[in-house]
């Protein structure tokens, strides 16, 4: 995913010299192609995320389209107030790219577990919050975001993910993508849980439906209502705390649909995610997901 976003940015920057890429001194063996091709549109700010967010806001005030890049909690939690006030209050064209979602950097320890970002960021007005599920979604989100003037957060997993979508997609900002058509049960995923869920359904031949939901700030109500109406059981799965994450967002939207009479029956919704805890042991992403209980086996 991280190579895809840089590849797409390189392509977009070719036609648009106002695109700038900043980094907080991370991106070794990832960002070099951009830096080599567009040295004047690249800046390594240093290990100073508060400054990076502020500088990004300043560049955007002068009409630049700024992407800034770092790992996990550093370009988000570390500079949350700069994101809220300098970038989002002023509604500036700054896109935050964080790699290492969830337990992607599992063995590095809890400092590198990015498991609260979505909940914190999705409360901020004006901010588009996006968690693409595979490299095709990453590419489509980058193309969508470069055409919007709004601030955005893009949550990237790591490198080497499989492509799940069968063909390219176009994002419109509130998309729900049908990946597998089944019946009875629908699993809604966000971010990198798409690959795990896709594999789980195929391996276990469950006949469940699978939907990828990459935006956490805005969801197509009609598509959601139609999924709710056509399935008896809904499961949400995310590599994030259950508190105020993706599943919470779905519950909020479902409640609104019910209150507004757009659905007449409250659906049966199971949420899978992290149950309000830190993990203090090492482990691969797969191991830590299991340890945190981010699995679907209990629904078989």
Partner 1 sequence: MNNLKEISKQIRIKCLEICHKHKASHLGGAFSVADILTVLYFDFLKVDAKKPKWEERDRLFYSKGHACTALYSALEIKGFYEGLKENFTINDSVFTSHVNNKVPGIELSTGSLGHALAVSCGVAMAGKIDNKNWNVVTIVSDGELNEGSNWEAILFAPHHKLDNLILIVDYNKIQSFGSIKEVLNLDSLTDKFKAFNWNTIEIDGHNFTEIKNSLQKSSEFKNSKPTAIIANTIKGKGVSFMENQLSWHYKSPNDKELDLAISEIQNP
Residue numbers at the binding site for partner 1 (CB under 8 A): 40, 43, 45-46, 48, 50-51, 53-64, 81-82, 85-86, 89-90
User: What SS3 state is found at 121?
Assistant: helix
Task: For residues 68 and 58, give the distance between their C-alpha atoms in angstroms, rounded to a whole number.
Answer: 13
Task: For residues 34 and 256, give the distance between their C-alpha atoms in angstroms, rounded to a whole number.
Answer: 43
User: In the complex with partner 1, which residue's Cβ is closer, 58 or 283?
Assistant: 58
User: In the complex with partner 1, which residue's Cβ is closer, 57 or 216?
Assistant: 57
User: In the complex with partner 1, which residue's Cβ is closer, 3 or 91?
Assistant: 91
Which of 1, 7, 13, 65 lies closest to 31 in space, CA to CA? 7
Task: For residues 210 and 186, give the distance between their C-alpha atoms in angstroms, rounded to a whole number.
Answer: 6
Cβ at position 224, least distance to partner 1 in Å: 35
Residue in the structure block whose two tokens are 């830096």: 35
Cβ at position 178, least distance to partner 1 in Å: 41
Task: For residues 113 and 72, give the distance between their C-alpha atoms in angstroms, rounded to a whole number.
Answer: 7
Task: For residues 118 and 30, give the distance between their C-alpha atoms in angstroms, rounded to a whole number.
Answer: 24
Cβ at position 63, least distance to partner 1 in Å: 7
Quickly count: other Cβ atoms within 10 Å of residue 131's Cβ.
31
User: In the complex with partner 1, which residue's Cβ is closer, 49 or 161?
Assistant: 49
Q: How many residues appear in the chain?
A: 300
Angle between helices 2-15 and 135-146 (to 10 degrees): 30
Task: For residues 49 and 195, give the distance between their C-alpha atoms in angstroms, rounded to a whole number.
Answer: 31
Cβ at position 57, least distance to partner 1 in Å: 5
User: In the complex with partner 1, which residue's Cβ is closer, 68 or 215?
Assistant: 68
Cβ at position 38, least distance to partner 1 in Å: 12
Asked if residues 73 and 117 have their Cβ atoms less than 8 Å apart, the reply is yes
Cβ at position 154, least distance to partner 1 in Å: 20
User: In the complex with partner 1, which residue's Cβ is closer, 68 or 208?
Assistant: 68
Cβ at position 65, least distance to partner 1 in Å: 12
Q: Token digits for 105?
A: 């950097």
User: In the complex with partner 1, which residue's Cβ is closer, 76 or 185?
Assistant: 76
């Amino acid at each position: 995913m991280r190579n895809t976003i840089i590849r797409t940015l390189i392509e977009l920057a070719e036609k648009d010299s106002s695109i700038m890429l900043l980094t907080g001194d991370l991106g070794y063996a990832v960002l070099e192609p951009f830096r080599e091709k567009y040295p004047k549109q690249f800046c390594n700010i240093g290990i100073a995320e508060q400054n990076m967010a502020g500088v990004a806001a300043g560049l955007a005030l002068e009409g630049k389209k700024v992407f800034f890049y770092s790992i996990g909690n550093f370009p988000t939690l570390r500079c949350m107030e700069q994101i809220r006030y300098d970038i989002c209050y002023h509604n500036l064209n700054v896109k935050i790219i964080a790699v290492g979602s969830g337990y992607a950097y599992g063995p590095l320890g809890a400092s590198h577990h990015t498991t609260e970002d979505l909940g914190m960021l999705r409360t901020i007005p004006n901010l588009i919050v996006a968690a693409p599920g595979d490299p095709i979604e990453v590419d489509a989100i980058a193309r969508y975001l470069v055409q919007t003037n709004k601030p955005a957060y893009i949550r990237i997993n790591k490198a080497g993910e499989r492509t799940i979508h069968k063909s390219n997609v176009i994002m419109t900002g509130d998309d729900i993508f049908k990946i597998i058509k089944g019946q009875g049960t629908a699993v809604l995923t966000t971010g990198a849980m798409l690959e795990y869920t896709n594999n789980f359904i195929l391996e276990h031949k469950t006949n469940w439906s699978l939907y990828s939901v990459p935006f956490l700030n805005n969801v197509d109500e009609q598509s959601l209502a139609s999924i709710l109406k056509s399935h008896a059981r809904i499961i949400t799965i995310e590599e994030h705390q259950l508190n105020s994450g993706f599943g919470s967002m779905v519950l909020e939207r479902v409640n609104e649909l019910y209150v507004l009479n757009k659905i007449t029956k409250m659906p049966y919704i199971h949420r899978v995610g992290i149950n309000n805890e830190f993990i203090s042991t090492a482990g691969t992403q797969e191991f830590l997901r299991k340890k945190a209980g981010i699995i679907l086996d209990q629904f078989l």
